Chains A and B, each alone.
Chain A
Amino acid sequence: MPRQQNADTISERRLRPIYDWLDNGNNKKALQEADKVLRKQPDFQCCRALKSLALMRLGKEDEALVIMDKILSESPVDEGALQAMTIGYREMKMPEKICTMYENATKKEPGNEEFLSHLFMAYVRLGQLKKQQATAMNLYKAKNKNPYYFWSVMSLVLQAMEGDEKIAQTVSLPLANKMVEKMEKEGRMEQEQETMIYLMILQLRKNWKGALDVLNGPLGKKLENSASYHLHCVRKRIELEEKMENWPEVARLSRNILLSQPDSWDTVNSYIGAVMKIQANENGVVHEEVPYDLKPNRIDRSVEEAESLLNCLRSSFPGLRCPYLGKVEICHRLKEPDRTKMQDLLVEYIDRFGSKPVCFSDIKKYLSTIPKEDQDNFIIKLKEKFPEKVPTNLEEIHREICLSCVERFLGRHLNISNDVFESMIDGLLHRYIATQPLVSHLESKEFRPSDGYLVISSHLLWEKWMSTKNNRYFLLACSLLRLGLQYSPSNWQLRLLLARFCGRAGAGGLCEEVIEPLDVKHLMLDTLGWMLPRILSSTGQIEKLDKLYCQMIRFYTHSPKESTEYIIQAYKYGNFPQICDIQNLKRRISSSYTNYLVNTESLLLSLLYRNNMHDQVSKTASYPEYTQPLEVDWDSVRDNRDFRTMVCYEPDEFSPTEEFVNFSFKAECQYARVRGLILRGLVVSLGLSDDSRDVSNNNNNLPEGKGNIPLKGLIDELSAQLENSKSLLSSEKFLSTPQAPHRCRLSSYLPSQQVELVLSLLSVLQSVLQQSQSENSDESISSPQFDAALQRLSNLQNLVTDQPATDWSERWSEMEETQYLIETLCISTVLAGCLHSLFKSHKGGKKGKKATVSARYNAMLPKFSLLLENLEKLGAKLEENHLNKYKRYVSEMECESLIEYFSSLKVNLPELLTQEKLDLVNKFISDYESQQTQMSGILAEKLKYLESLKI
């Protein structure tokens, strides 16, 4: 043994410098050092592994891989070698080899705890649940430690959650249940986490009674007394009793909690629900009258008793909202609610809590139940109770804003005359100015309550702008918001509103500038990522868009991997519920529709706008991100967009309800599908027209093609998706409020006829390919396809007209349509490039011949020339039209800037506002100019390229 130890120490000493060089990032030195050691000990596994790390980091990945795979085949058990190879395989994104490596190691040393636990984690990274389960069991058998046993149980639970529900209920969950039960019976449950997993299994099996028994038994007691889970237990018990429909127990438990935590809304809800169920079940049973008291464990059986409890709580805790809102909730839940009582309760609620900014959102749900015919009366009640006066403190500001919100929500801002509208705006602005002294002491990063007046004014102005198309409202709103942001730069409500105004009027760059201080990053890129990219793409802000896409894609690629590491952490700490939670998060992010859309759009952007010549485009399209597209299961795509951050006081019919959001989501998914196919069409066409590439292997995600022409299947699928899109669009539902999702992309995409043209060009390409394989070389079988494409192209040219000017509120959508036309031209040039390349390629031609046009294509050339000619025409027309449009946009802006719009305001702001307006107009103009330059540049490049394609 001493000799062995000695050898180990020597080896260790020799490796030290290599580790040091690697740590310092000096890979060259590390490599030299490793080679030196290997000259003496050529079989030294750890040293070879370190050498491969150095090679890999020097960019010689192939060499590194050869060494690593060789070591792998030797089934190493040396810790250093295993560690280095784990790093190597991970960095080379070959996690499955880490598994093989540890599988081999555990075969050699079956009881080695470290190897087994590495193997377990390696399976976790790959999501191989069954292997995880078995490995954890081996670990348990080897070391007899509880956590390993429960790792195995957890792996089984995850199988149940991810797999087929029936198998879960009949196989995996009963087995998991049995495994835990065994431990329980043998009294070997040690940690609270083990009880948590037990509860989780029982609930997944819908065994509420079993879960309750555990919770009420000794294990549950221990859980309840622990620091980490006491919160969990209280709520869980009620939840389980609710599932069992044991209403008296729910009533008793929740009442007990309310006595000490009267402000717990969940509990109030459970309590009210239970009491009402009991009352309904007993249906008229008369109980002996007993004076109401607050002793615990009483079971309340009637609405009257529930009200008594809430009344008692109200008088004991007058500052808490729950007991008050609880009474409103009771009134709301009654089959025949007392309408007057409901109104009185709401007035009372506003009276007590209107001074809190949360008041409106608390009562919103109940306000919408006030019948139309009662609404006037309700407003009168409010006006009587809270007569108008200039607020003298922050509380009064909140209350007045709350009242305005209520009026707006009840539709009092709809269908009003111009005079009433103007006086409303004047009134709100007057208040904004008058309350400034009350908020001037607040720091700039704090929310100023008076900003609420600006928010409501902007909502009003938005609506008026949409309905009248009068730009005065737009300019006034933007100027007000800009003014407000000077004092409250951190108020994101003002900022998001301003961004939506600017976006709507087609200023993408400005929209970005407004949002920028919010520093939208990390997960917000997913939740708020619906807002900005759309505006940037519709206004042709390619540079900014590209940057944003990169940021988003980094997030989407990185997050799932990162999440896995925390799943491993959660195993280590035995936090089982968090394993499921993080697993769900991982799935939610990677299946976010924004992920798929941004991925496709960004690939299209680089392909179409970053490259011109065929070779460049073709090379780009051969990169793995193009040839190996993300796999999408469209049935499980998630909508993570957040539409709740912008406050909304609109009546229900104008607020982004689930119905609107769902439609928008469906339509956006449909769009993303079509776009994905367009991208595939381009990638396949580029592959087919490139001699050097064998596309049949590359495009594994393609719908099966007929014979060796993979385009056929793609064309069919794209046509089908086009039809789906059209039928979906025909049932479009959308809102034009600032809080609502943008109108779906299909609404401007489908009219651009891009898909139809692409379909016809792909058919041309397909027929040319067929021709290349056909015996008959004289007769052109592509002629009808060419003609169809030419027809499509001429249709498209008709779309490029100097349409009558749209108003500013629709400018972004006008721009988006133009943008799609420009993109269509870019796509067509790529496909024309493919045709050109096919004609000139050796394929089908005689061997050894130079790259000239093969005779078999001669018959097609006139049509091809015609196609190029028409594309050129389209390009030139687009270029001119684009320039003219922007000239018009700029001159309109300049004209508007001269009009004295704000002098009629009755508040003392016109000068300040006029200054804001002038700044805004200048920003708009420079933004328009930058947009115009970017697209004109692209068009000019494409025209130049088309010229080069002429044969």
Chain B
Amino acid sequence: MTTLRQFTCDDLFKFNDINLDPLTEMYGLGFYLQYMARWPEYLMAAESPSGDLMGYVLGKSEGVGENWHGHVTAVTVGPQHRRLGLAKKLMDGLEVITDMKKCYFVDLFVRVSNKNALSFYEKLGYTIYRTVLEYYSGETDEDAYDMRKAMSRDRLKKSTVPVIEPVRIDDLEF
């Protein structure tokens, strides 16, 4: 039941059952539109047989030279559609595009406390590349892991060799 299709603006009116989740960020309209205007292929949605939106992935590709990479901004699945391997399908979809674009790696940020997400990404082959201090702001700031997975272009997986020293948010290039 998991055909991926391009995410469209109309989906924004149907995604409440996904975005009310406290672990899914509800961004301002401009944020989604920025992705849509620039990286529409990186916005993918999965729709259920009953026409509900089941989940979506939001990503982009950027960087130069060996830093040319795909990035996962958000991947999320509504509670009714969990336990179906949907998040993996969405991630796979994003990786296929990234690979076709001849990127070196895919990266993403995850809260260090989000054990479920962490182990999910690890299962998909992502490894912790480095720690970003106080990446998430809120009542208490939280560090993020910058996780990476090498794409086929990076045969030696150079892009994923971990950096031990943590970095600050200002040091991030993207």
Contact = CB atoms under 8 A, between A and B. Distances in A.
> Is the A/B pair a real complex?
yes
Contacts of B93: 231
Contacts of A261: 3
A229 B41 contact: yes
B37 A582 contact: yes
B155 interface: no
A573 B41 contact: no
A516 B23 CA distance: 16
Contact of A227 (B19, B30, B38, B41): B41
A356 B30 contact: no
A232 B41 CA distance: 9
A145 B8 CA distance: 29
B83 interface: yes
Interface in B88-103: 93, 97-98, 100-101
Contacts of B81: 357-358
Interface stretch (A163-171, A522-530, A616-624, A758-766): A522-530
B16 interface: yes
B12 A578 contact: no
Interface string A552-570: 0000000100110111011
A265 B97 contact: no
Given A227-B41, A325-B1, A566-B34, A361 B48 contact: yes
Nearest to B86: A358
Which of A228, A263, A320, A588 has most B Cβ within 10 Å?
A: A228
| Count class of interface residues, chain B | 35 or more
Interface in B116-161: 116
B36 interface: yes
Interface string B62-105: 00000000000000000111111000000001000110110000
Interface in A255-279: 261, 263-267
Interface stretch (A425-433, A639-647, A708-716): A639-647
Contacts of B169: none
Contacts of B47: 265
Interface in A504-525: 518-519, 521-524
Contacts, number: 152
A228 B40 contact: yes
A305 to B, nearest CB: 22
B49 A362 contact: yes
Contacts of A523: 12-13, 29
B164 to A, nearest CB: 29
A645 B16 contact: yes
A714 B97 CA distance: 59
B2 A362 contact: no
Interface in B33-62: 33-34, 36-38, 40-41, 44, 47-50, 52, 54
A519 B26 contact: yes
Contacts of A355: 83
A647 B44 CA distance: 24
B116 A357 contact: no
A492 B20 contact: yes
Given A523-B29, A644-B17, A264 B2 contact: yes
Given A227-B101, A585-B9, A644 B52 contact: yes
Contacts of B54: 358
Contacts of A584: 9-10
Which of B4, B13, B27, B81 has most A Cβ within 10 Å?
A: B13
A847 interface: no
Given A357-B80, A361-B48, A569 B37 contact: yes
A522 B41 contact: no
Given A528-B16, A566-B34, A645-B16, A575 B52 contact: no
Contacts of A582: 9, 33, 36-37
A645 B17 contact: yes
A130 B154 CA distance: 48
Given A232-B6, A522-B28, A325 B49 contact: yes
Given A227-B97, A265-B49, A582-B33, A575 B40 contact: yes
A833 B47 CA distance: 57
A726 interface: no
Interface residues of A, number: 63
A747 interface: no
Interface string A299-311: 0000000000000
Contacts of B8: 581
B2 A445 contact: no
Contacts of B30: 562, 565-566
Which of B6, B34, B37 has most A Cβ within 10 Å?
A: B37
B52 A361 contact: yes
A421 interface: no
A863 interface: no
Contacts of B9: 581-582, 584-585, 588
B119 to A, nearest CB: 13
Contacts of A567: 37
A490 interface: yes
Nearest to A642: B16
A365 interface: yes
A445 B97 contact: no
B61 to A, nearest CB: 9
B168 interface: no
Contacts of A588: 9-10, 13
Contacts of A443: 116
Contacts of A518: 20
B1 A644 contact: no
A644 B2 CA distance: 20
A6 to B, nearest CB: 37
A644 B29 CA distance: 21
A519 B17 CA distance: 13
Contact of A570 (B27, B28, B37): B37
B99 to A, nearest CB: 8
Nearest to A227: B100
Interface string A880-918: 000000000000000000000000000000000000000
A221 interface: no
Instruction: For the complex of A and B, list the 8 residue pairs with the smallest distance between their C-beta atoms, beginning with the closest.
Output: A227-B100, A228-B41, A585-B9, A569-B37, A566-B33, A570-B37, A264-B3, A447-B79
